[in-house]
Homo-oligomer: A and B are copies of this chain.
Amino acid sequence: MNLFSKVSRTAGKNSPLEEEVRKLPVPVNSVFLGKDGRIEPAEFRQTDMTLGSKGHERIEQVFPETSAKNGSAILEAVVAGGSRGTAGKRVAVLFSGGPAAGGHNVLVGLAAVLGKDNTLLGVRKGPGGLVKGDLFEIDRRSVSSIMNMGGFDFLGTDRTKIKTAEQFEKVKQTVVKNRLDGLVVVGGDDSNTNAAFIAEHLEKEGVRCSVIGVPKTIDGDLAAGKYLPIPFGFDTATKIYAELVGNLTQDAASAVKYYHFVKLMGRTASKITLEVALQTKPAVALISEEIAEKNMSLEAIVDHIARIITLRRLNGLNHGVILVPEGLVEFIPEMGRLIAELNKVLVEYATDIADLPSLEHKREFLFPHLTAQSAQVMASLPPDLQETLILDRDDHGNVKVSQIETEKLLIEKIRYRLSEMKRHTDRFFGREEGKIEASAQQVEDFKKVSLSVQSHFLGYEGRCSKPSRFDAAFTFQLGMAAGSLVLSGKTGYMAAVTDFHKGGRVLALPLTGLISTEMRGGKEEFVIKRSLVELSSPSFRLYAENRDRWAREDCFSSPGAIQYWGPTCRQVSMLVALDQEYPDFASFDLGEEKQVLVE
């Protein structure tokens, strides 16, 4: 074959790396190993570990069937007594929400435990496809093509929220029409809440179908302490972001003139930012949870960063990297209040505002409806951002927070602050408390240097990579766990794996134990509480203890690109290793690795 053909033939995921990665072995937890060394479904037994949560009585009212059936006990997988018994079962699987690396291995794990005697079906394009009944039977041979491959493209995904009675009826029809014995929902907190409602609805309707959730979200906020340290996708996404941020820290120190402001995905939890900070040691990493807890205003944040930039400059460094979590703006108290007020006004006066002919008219209309404090905050924002806040709305008419360019807001405010510091050096430099100590010469040098900034947003690049060895291994166990739960007739559980450092432990968490109630805008909502960065956690404490040094000096390091081979390919995230109190982050252990062939 000549080179022209060799290059052309890499199309369709046939690059040399893709061909090799597909063949990589994955661990198989001993609970899934039959006596002949082949993969078998596990059984689940009750443990004395339980999950409880706020408003439990209310949960029992809303989920009477599944909460009565499952109680609050966590199940643990054990080797099944007999040989593979079940046959003729039909199990469908869907992806929900944003893609995350490893989703395809959930399918491979499912196919592996279901074996040839049961049927795996795929739901096209997420929960929306489930409502429409868009299912297809998965050819077992095609499963080997997605082994260790990234993305959700084998099925597609969407963000349909199943809420109405009509939707639940349609889901039931899909289940009945396709004679499904099981439905596996791969998704985040909302999708797993969806799964809990579907499980309850089918039980109530007397339709026997096991509904099982699989925890996915790159943000890392769907977790359950020691029972589920992290959902899948976080490890791969943070490895990619840390590779790139690592490169930018190195670039900053090489070109010696830029501050790189990097916005990182993570609407609620700042776990991604924290992990990337631990991996790369940037000059600044803002953690939303800390800002909310310490009630830091936008001005205080700007002060903090401008001070670090100044101290670095006095220290001879005119470059660095500043990490900003995507969801920051809602955690800044006065901004959060402004957005909440705007949401209320924008929805309440939706038609009035829509009728007003220009942005200026809309602004004039809005200001009197805000509190004085929020009006002042709004007026102090750059015009572009005011426009975004007023005009860009999501499907519920609310402010589209993801459109807010927080990093650019910070850059603008920091620029202004630094120019103020140059013009009024006496206000900012001196021996008094709160001022920065510097010699006259240092102050003169400070005045000479300008701030050169590059801004970046790292998001989509991290969702669809080929999974890290960890995520590939983790998702394969999750898939086998979900398949085993279906085959043993369980419903309303989320598959989980823990103890990544010593062989892995496969669990099933009752979904009703994860769900709690919250009042949102006067309405009761059922939610799985998001797992946020805790300021008392080892991971945050390590960052907090080191950050002053990382701010003053160039301490950067980088985990580098995701490796599939070699001495570092099995690293787990530092956040998980620290918070789960593992002895090391160098290597995970999820069981003996095997070449998996789904035939």
Contact = CB atoms under 8 A, between A and B. Distances in A.
A559 B17 contact: yes
A493 B247 CA distance: 31
B557 A3 contact: no
A253 B278 CA distance: 32
B460 A560 contact: no
Interface stretch (A31-39, A146-154, A222-230): A146-154
Interface in A3-32: 3-4, 6-8, 10-18, 20-21
A578 interface: yes
Nearest to A468: B561
A260 interface: yes
A578 B2 CA distance: 10
A250 interface: yes
A571 interface: yes
Copies of this protein chain in the complex: 2
A557 B15 contact: yes
A461 B255 CA distance: 13
Nearest to A560: B17
A561 B562 contact: yes
B3 A584 contact: yes
Of the candidates A150, A460, A581, the one having the most CB atoms from chain B within 10 angstroms of its own CB is A460
Contacts of A12: 555-557
Contact of A583 (B3, B125, B542, B569): B3
**Interface-centre pick from A15, A98, A546 (highest chain B CB count, 10 A):** A15
B17 A253 contact: no
B562 A565 contact: no
Given A6-B585, A564-B566, A11 B250 contact: no
Nearest to A460: B251
A256 interface: yes
A152 B554 CA distance: 14
Given A555-B11, A563-B563, A464 B254 contact: yes
Contacts of A278: 7
Contacts of A559: 15-17
Nearest to A581: B3
A201 interface: no
A463 interface: yes
A12 B568 CA distance: 18
A240 interface: yes
Contacts of A150: 247, 250
A517 to B, nearest CB: 31
Contact of A14 (B10, B251, B557, B564): B557
Chain A to chain B: the 6 pairs with minimum beta-carbon distance, closest first: A565-B566, A561-B561, A152-B254, A151-B250, A251-B464, A153-B253
